[in-house]
A and B are shown apart, each in its own frame.
Chain A
Amino acid sequence: MESKSVEILLVEDNPYEAELAIRGLKKHNFANNLHHIDDGAEALDFIFGRGKYADHTETPKLILLDIKLPRIDGIEILRQIKSNEKTRSIPVVVLTSSKENQDVKACYELGVNSYIVKPVDFDSFAKAVAELGMYWMLLNTAPPR
């Protein structure tokens, strides 16, 4: 997988939530370009090409980030992404359980680009992508069944 160009990085520790999201995106042919990581520290290694991802130099085009994660939480990951020259321009979409969540505010202060209220389905994903002006990402999308 490392050799392939990754367009979307999904950082989500709950396997069922991840499955729902991947399933929603798979129907629209996004899963091929999607890499799922369920751990905060590993996600950082992936993004910055460290540890077991040392030979992975390409950064993802879009990051879907859960806030509550083991070891290193989403807010810390967001802080590191947005404070690094190399990764600052990667759009980050936060996955939240409620739009009234205090964390959404904190994320906006750190420079998050958008958020999606869970469960992540294709519609909310498409809305977030549209918000970011990344229409090319939807271009290779197959029409829904």
Chain B
Amino acid sequence: MRLSFEKVLIGFFVFITLAVIGLGILNYRSNISYYQASTAVNHTNDVLKLNTKTLATIQDLTVRGYIAGGDSSLLPAYRQARQNYPIYLAQLRTLTADNPAQLVLIDSLTRYTQLRDALASRYLGVYMAHHLTDSVLAMYIAASRSSMIASRQVSARIAANEEKLLAERKALTQLHHSRLDISVALVFAVIVVLLMGCTVAVVHYIRQRKSFEKNIVELNIDLRKKVEELHAINKELESFSYSVSHDLRAPLRIIDGFAKIISDEYGPALDGEGMRFMTTIRSNAQHMGMLIDDLLNFSRISRRELVIREINMNALVENVIDNFRLTDKPLAEIKVQPLASAKCDEHLIRQVWINLISNAVKYSRTCEHPEIHITWEQTGTETIYTVRDNGVGFDMQYAAKLFGVFQRLHKASDYEGTGVGLAIVHRIVTRHGGRVWAQSQPGAGAVFYFSLPKHIN
């Protein structure tokens, strides 16, 4: 869901980017076209103005006033017009150089103008030499007028052509202008869409975030509930352990206590067999007491919080062995290699060493020369400690049972114990994130391995 929204968002932004680029190009081109069209309109206006000016100049190209009335004040305008008209006509030709139809018309205009000019200068010459008769004057006037009429007509056609062009160009300008408007409007539209898209994205992410936060809060509440439940269960377990230790052991104590009273005070009244039964009752009551104690120990170790520190294993193992030597009868020869230190819970790992070494001692005591070797090795991720004895060993067929609670591979009559020691070892090592395993053959001793990871959480 989230991925697809992101894809849509990426698509949206790619689209917006392309749209902005396209619109930029369109805008630029519309701008150029509009500029060109407006330039063309101005050009046509220039042609029209020049055309009007040229016609006015042609109008002035007459000596009629002077010849007819002797008004010499009109001569400068004539002379000015004579000087100007070729310039104007040339300018007109230049401005319309791209329009053959106009050039043809300008050619005609030029011819009529030249004719009018020639008429004027000829009749002026004649007038200067001789006095003109009325009839001659009338001839000039008629000729000049008709040249003017022709010029006016041509000029009007030129103007008409230009007007037509102007209309076309104005329309084109309008078109480009409206295109420019559209492209600007489109740019705004894209900006609006972009803003809307951003808003949608932001709102979406805020909502998503809020829902995540809500989830986290809910999960935390759940977790707190679970922790509380766990605490409650732990408390229950503790009170259960308490009742086990208190209520279950009380009858055993009483059985043992009264059996002791019978042995002590009524012993003489019993025969050997009777005394043996009393001893059996007492030893079994005591054994059951031990089982309960071991079970409690096991459960206490499972619940105890780990205190991880760097531990000097050699010091720990030597201390454990010294304690054995203090409390037990002379035992096997124990050889300890210099051991690597490890990060672990000292109290619990001490229990592991106690259990493994006492097992090694117990199961090798029938040997002639009991020997125990304690060694270690390092792998990439863990440190492996080994306790090797040359005792009775066991059949690997039953190895799976070794680390179970109350599981025993030897008869209680041969080797005392409750079958909890190795289960405790297994529990402690597992809680450290390590492994425990064994190798053996009946009569060929046993090797117990336990590993501790280099990094403990």
- Residues of A near any B CB (own CB < 8 A): 14, 16-17, 20, 23, 68, 97-98, 101-102, 118-119
Contacts of A68 in B (CB 8 A): 246
Are A119 and B254 in contact, with the CB atoms below 8 A? yes
Q: A98-B245, A101-B245, A119-B256 are in contact. Are A17 and B261 (CB under 8 A)?
A: no
B224 at the interface (CB under 8 A from A): no
The residue of chain A having its C-beta at the shortest distance from the C-beta of B247 within the complex is A68
- Residues of B near any A CB (own CB < 8 A): 238, 242, 245-246, 249-250, 253-254, 256-258, 261, 293, 296
Interface of B (DSSP majority class): helix
A17 touches which one: B238, B245, B254, B293 (CB < 8 A)?
B254
Are B242 and A102 in contact, with the CB atoms below 8 A? yes
Contacts of B249 in A (CB 8 A): 97-98
Contacts of A98 in B (CB 8 A): 245, 249, 293, 296
Interface of A (DSSP majority class): loop
Cα A14 to Cα B250 in complex, Å, equals: 9
Are B245 and A16 in contact, with the CB atoms below 8 A? no
A119 touches which one: B242, B246, B253, B296 (CB < 8 A)?
B253
Cα A118 to Cα B242 in complex, Å, equals: 15
Cα A7 to Cα B254 in complex, Å, equals: 25
Contacts of B258 in A (CB 8 A): 16, 20
Contacts of A20 in B (CB 8 A): 253-254, 257-258, 261
5 A-B pairs with the lowest CB-CB distances in the bound complex, closest first:
A20-B257, A16-B254, A119-B257, A119-B253, A97-B246
Known contacts A17-B257, A20-B261, A97-B245; 10 additional CB pairs below 8 A are: A17-B250, A23-B261, A68-B246, A97-B249, A98-B249, A98-B293, A101-B246, A102-B242, A118-B253, A119-B256
A97 touches which one: B238, B250, B256, B257 (CB < 8 A)?
B250
Contacts of A23 in B (CB 8 A): 261
Contacts of B245 in A (CB 8 A): 97-98, 101
Chain A: minimal CB distance from B257 (Å): 4
The residue of chain B having its C-beta at the shortest distance from the C-beta of A98 within the complex is B245
Contacts of A101 in B (CB 8 A): 242, 245-246
What are 15 inter-chain pairs, A to B, with CB distance below 8 A? A16-B254, A16-B257, A17-B253, A20-B254, A20-B257, A20-B258, A20-B261, A23-B261, A68-B246, A97-B253, A98-B296, A101-B246, A102-B238, A118-B250, A119-B257
The residue of chain A having its C-beta at the shortest distance from the C-beta of B238 within the complex is A102
